[in-house]
Amino acid sequence: MSHALRHEPELYGLKLLNEGWVDTSDLLMAIRREPAFENITLNDLENVIHSSKKKRHEIKGDKIRALYGHSTSVKLEYKASKPPETLYHGTTEDSIDKIMQEGLKPMNRQYVHLSAVKKEAIQVAKRRSKNIILLEVQARKAYSKGTEFYYSDSVWLCKYLHFDYINPLI
Ligand code: HQG
Protein backbone atom coordinates (compact mmCIF):
# COMPACT_ATOMS: atom_id res chain seq x y z
CA MET A 1 0.00 0.00 0.00
CA SER A 2 2.77 2.44 0.93
CA HIS A 3 4.84 1.52 -2.09
CA ALA A 4 1.90 2.20 -4.40
CA LEU A 5 0.81 5.42 -2.69
CA ARG A 6 4.25 6.90 -1.95
CA HIS A 7 6.66 5.64 -4.55
CA GLU A 8 5.60 3.81 -7.71
CA PRO A 9 1.84 4.09 -8.32
CA GLU A 10 2.33 3.38 -12.04
CA LEU A 11 3.67 -0.08 -11.18
CA TYR A 12 0.19 -0.86 -9.85
CA GLY A 13 -1.67 0.79 -12.72
CA LEU A 14 -2.50 3.80 -10.51
CA LYS A 15 -2.18 7.52 -11.10
CA LEU A 16 -2.14 9.77 -8.05
CA LEU A 17 -4.58 12.68 -8.25
CA ASN A 18 -4.05 16.07 -6.59
CA GLU A 19 -2.85 15.78 -2.98
CA GLY A 20 -1.93 12.12 -3.56
CA TRP A 21 -5.42 10.62 -3.66
CA VAL A 22 -6.46 7.52 -5.60
CA ASP A 23 -9.80 5.70 -5.75
CA THR A 24 -9.78 3.15 -2.95
CA SER A 25 -11.47 0.65 -5.30
CA ASP A 26 -8.58 1.03 -7.78
CA LEU A 27 -6.01 0.41 -5.04
CA LEU A 28 -7.95 -2.62 -3.82
CA MET A 29 -8.08 -4.02 -7.36
CA ALA A 30 -4.32 -3.52 -7.72
CA ILE A 31 -3.54 -5.23 -4.41
CA ARG A 32 -5.90 -8.12 -5.21
CA ARG A 33 -3.77 -8.99 -8.26
CA GLU A 34 -1.23 -10.35 -5.77
CA PRO A 35 -2.41 -13.95 -5.03
CA ALA A 36 -1.72 -13.63 -1.29
CA PHE A 37 -4.07 -10.63 -1.14
CA GLU A 38 -6.80 -11.66 -3.60
CA ASN A 39 -9.50 -11.49 -0.93
CA ILE A 40 -8.48 -8.18 0.63
CA THR A 41 -11.36 -5.85 1.50
CA LEU A 42 -11.82 -2.20 2.35
CA ASN A 43 -12.23 -3.30 5.95
CA ASP A 44 -8.73 -4.85 5.85
CA LEU A 45 -7.25 -1.57 4.56
CA GLU A 46 -9.02 0.33 7.32
CA ASN A 47 -7.69 -2.11 9.92
CA VAL A 48 -4.12 -1.69 8.65
CA ILE A 49 -4.46 2.08 8.83
CA HIS A 50 -6.06 2.24 12.26
CA SER A 51 -3.93 -0.41 13.95
CA SER A 52 -0.77 1.59 13.27
CA LYS A 53 0.55 4.11 15.78
CA LYS A 54 1.78 6.29 12.93
CA LYS A 55 -0.88 7.89 10.81
CA ARG A 56 0.53 6.79 7.46
CA HIS A 57 -2.60 6.75 5.32
CA GLU A 58 -5.98 8.39 5.17
CA ILE A 59 -9.31 7.34 3.66
CA LYS A 60 -11.89 10.03 2.82
CA GLY A 61 -15.06 9.25 0.92
CA ASP A 62 -14.13 6.83 -1.84
CA LYS A 63 -10.44 7.88 -1.91
CA ILE A 64 -7.24 6.92 -0.10
CA ARG A 65 -3.76 8.48 0.11
CA ALA A 66 -0.45 8.30 1.94
CA LEU A 67 0.05 11.25 4.27
CA TYR A 68 3.87 11.46 4.09
CA GLY A 69 6.94 9.66 2.85
CA HIS A 70 6.45 10.30 -0.88
CA SER A 71 9.26 9.99 -3.37
CA THR A 72 6.93 10.37 -6.36
CA SER A 73 6.43 13.99 -7.41
CA VAL A 74 2.85 14.44 -6.17
CA LYS A 75 2.25 17.61 -4.16
CA LEU A 76 0.58 17.58 -0.74
CA GLU A 77 -0.25 20.91 0.86
CA TYR A 78 1.22 20.66 4.34
CA LYS A 79 0.53 23.45 6.78
CA ALA A 80 3.71 25.11 8.07
CA SER A 81 3.86 24.63 11.87
CA LYS A 82 6.04 25.76 14.74
CA PRO A 83 8.03 22.70 15.86
CA PRO A 84 8.83 21.69 19.45
CA GLU A 85 12.19 22.72 20.88
CA THR A 86 13.76 19.39 19.93
CA LEU A 87 13.07 16.77 17.28
CA TYR A 88 14.89 13.51 16.54
CA HIS A 89 16.14 11.70 13.47
CA GLY A 90 17.52 8.18 13.44
CA THR A 91 20.24 7.38 10.96
CA THR A 92 23.11 4.94 10.37
CA GLU A 93 26.74 5.17 11.43
CA ASP A 94 27.65 5.02 7.74
CA SER A 95 25.78 8.24 6.98
CA ILE A 96 26.79 10.36 9.95
CA ASP A 97 29.96 11.94 8.52
CA LYS A 98 28.13 13.05 5.41
CA ILE A 99 25.19 14.38 7.40
CA MET A 100 27.50 16.43 9.65
CA GLN A 101 29.12 17.90 6.50
CA GLU A 102 26.03 18.44 4.36
CA GLY A 103 23.09 18.52 6.75
CA LEU A 104 20.02 16.29 6.52
CA LYS A 105 18.71 15.96 2.98
CA PRO A 106 15.46 14.35 1.81
CA MET A 107 17.50 11.91 -0.32
CA ASN A 108 14.96 9.98 -2.46
CA ARG A 109 11.92 11.40 -0.69
CA GLN A 110 10.40 14.89 -0.90
CA TYR A 111 11.12 15.76 2.75
CA VAL A 112 13.43 15.01 5.65
CA HIS A 113 11.41 13.06 8.25
CA LEU A 114 11.77 13.83 11.95
CA SER A 115 10.11 12.53 15.08
CA ALA A 116 9.12 14.20 18.33
CA VAL A 117 9.78 10.90 20.13
CA LYS A 118 13.28 9.45 20.54
CA LYS A 119 12.03 5.86 20.48
CA GLU A 120 10.35 6.34 17.09
CA ALA A 121 13.48 7.85 15.56
CA ILE A 122 15.51 4.89 16.86
CA GLN A 123 13.02 2.48 15.24
CA VAL A 124 13.29 4.33 11.92
CA ALA A 125 17.10 3.95 12.00
CA LYS A 126 16.94 0.29 13.02
CA ARG A 127 15.12 -0.66 9.84
CA ARG A 128 18.32 0.28 7.99
CA SER A 129 21.15 -0.95 10.20
CA LYS A 130 22.22 -2.36 13.57
CA ASN A 131 24.72 0.47 13.88
CA ILE A 132 22.60 3.51 14.35
CA ILE A 133 23.00 7.08 15.49
CA LEU A 134 20.27 9.14 17.05
CA LEU A 135 20.39 12.79 16.05
CA GLU A 136 18.96 15.52 18.21
CA VAL A 137 17.70 18.39 16.10
CA GLN A 138 17.38 21.90 17.51
CA ALA A 139 14.15 22.39 15.65
CA ARG A 140 12.93 25.57 17.33
CA LYS A 141 16.29 27.25 16.69
CA ALA A 142 16.26 26.19 13.02
CA TYR A 143 12.66 27.44 12.76
CA SER A 144 13.55 30.79 14.29
CA LYS A 145 16.32 31.13 11.65
CA GLY A 146 13.92 30.43 8.78
CA THR A 147 13.65 26.66 8.29
CA GLU A 148 10.03 25.73 7.58
CA PHE A 149 8.58 22.71 9.35
CA TYR A 150 5.38 20.84 8.57
CA TYR A 151 3.49 18.42 10.79
CA SER A 152 1.65 15.43 9.41
CA ASP A 153 -0.08 13.83 12.42
CA SER A 154 2.80 11.61 13.43
CA VAL A 155 5.89 12.92 11.67
CA TRP A 156 7.58 16.30 11.29
CA LEU A 157 8.85 17.26 7.86
CA CYS A 158 11.26 19.82 6.45
CA LYS A 159 12.97 20.29 3.11
CA TYR A 160 16.51 20.42 4.49
CA LEU A 161 18.20 20.76 7.84
CA HIS A 162 21.54 22.50 8.24
CA PHE A 163 24.20 20.65 10.26
CA ASP A 164 24.45 23.58 12.70
CA TYR A 165 21.18 22.36 14.24
CA ILE A 166 22.13 18.67 14.49
CA ASN A 167 23.78 16.93 17.47
CA PRO A 168 24.60 13.20 17.39
CA LEU A 169 23.51 11.54 20.66
CA ILE A 170 24.34 7.80 20.44
C1 HQG B 1 19.95 9.62 5.39
C2 HQG B 1 9.34 5.82 7.35
C3 HQG B 1 23.85 10.81 3.76
C4 HQG B 1 18.88 9.61 6.45
C5 HQG B 1 10.10 6.26 8.59
C6 HQG B 1 18.22 8.26 6.17
C7 HQG B 1 10.24 7.76 8.43
C8 HQG B 1 21.71 11.14 4.54
C9 HQG B 1 18.37 8.08 4.68
C10 HQG B 1 10.15 7.94 6.94
C11 HQG B 1 21.85 12.55 4.38
C12 HQG B 1 17.09 8.37 3.93
C13 HQG B 1 11.46 8.37 6.36
C14 HQG B 1 23.07 13.03 3.85
C15 HQG B 1 19.89 12.16 5.17
N16 HQG B 1 24.05 12.13 3.56
N17 HQG B 1 22.72 10.28 4.25
N18 HQG B 1 23.31 14.33 3.65
N19 HQG B 1 20.72 13.16 4.76
N20 HQG B 1 20.49 10.95 5.05
O21 HQG B 1 14.01 6.16 4.22
O22 HQG B 1 14.07 9.27 7.63
O23 HQG B 1 7.39 4.13 9.04
O24 HQG B 1 14.30 8.29 2.88
O25 HQG B 1 19.40 9.72 7.75
O26 HQG B 1 9.43 5.91 9.74
O27 HQG B 1 14.87 6.87 7.25
O28 HQG B 1 7.39 3.80 6.56
O29 HQG B 1 14.28 8.43 5.34
O30 HQG B 1 18.90 7.22 6.84
O31 HQG B 1 9.26 8.48 9.09
O32 HQG B 1 5.69 5.29 7.66
O33 HQG B 1 19.36 9.03 4.26
O34 HQG B 1 9.81 6.68 6.38
O35 HQG B 1 7.99 5.99 7.52
O36 HQG B 1 16.19 7.31 4.20
O37 HQG B 1 12.51 7.49 6.79
P38 HQG B 1 14.64 7.50 4.08
P39 HQG B 1 14.01 8.00 6.84
P40 HQG B 1 7.06 4.72 7.70
170: confidence class by pLDDT, cuts 50, 70, 90 = low
Does the pTM surpass 0.85? The reply is yes
Domain with CATH 3.20.170.30 in the chain: 87-169
The helix (run of H) or strand (run of E) holding residue 149 is none
Please give the class, per CATH, of domain 87-169. Answer: alpha beta
Domain with CATH 1.10.10.970 in the chain: 2-66
As for ligand 1, residues whose beta carbon falls within 6 Å of it are: 2, 54, 56, 69, 91-92, 95, 98-99, 102, 104-105, 107-109, 113, 124, 128, 155
pLDDT of residue 83 exceeding 80: yes
| pLDDT tens-digit map of 102-150 | 999 999 999 999 999 999 999 999 999 999 999 999 999 999 999 999 9
pLDDT of residue 53: 86
For ligand 1, pick from 93, 95, 97, 117 the residue to mutate: most ligand atoms within 8 Å of CB: 95
The helix (run of H) or strand (run of E) holding residue 158 is strand 155-158
For domain 2-66, say whether CATH 1.10.10.970 is its number: yes
C-alpha distance from residue 146 to each of 22, 150, 158, 160 (Å)? 34, 13, 11, 11
pLDDT of residue 153: 83
C-alpha span between 141 and 118 (Å, rounded)? 18
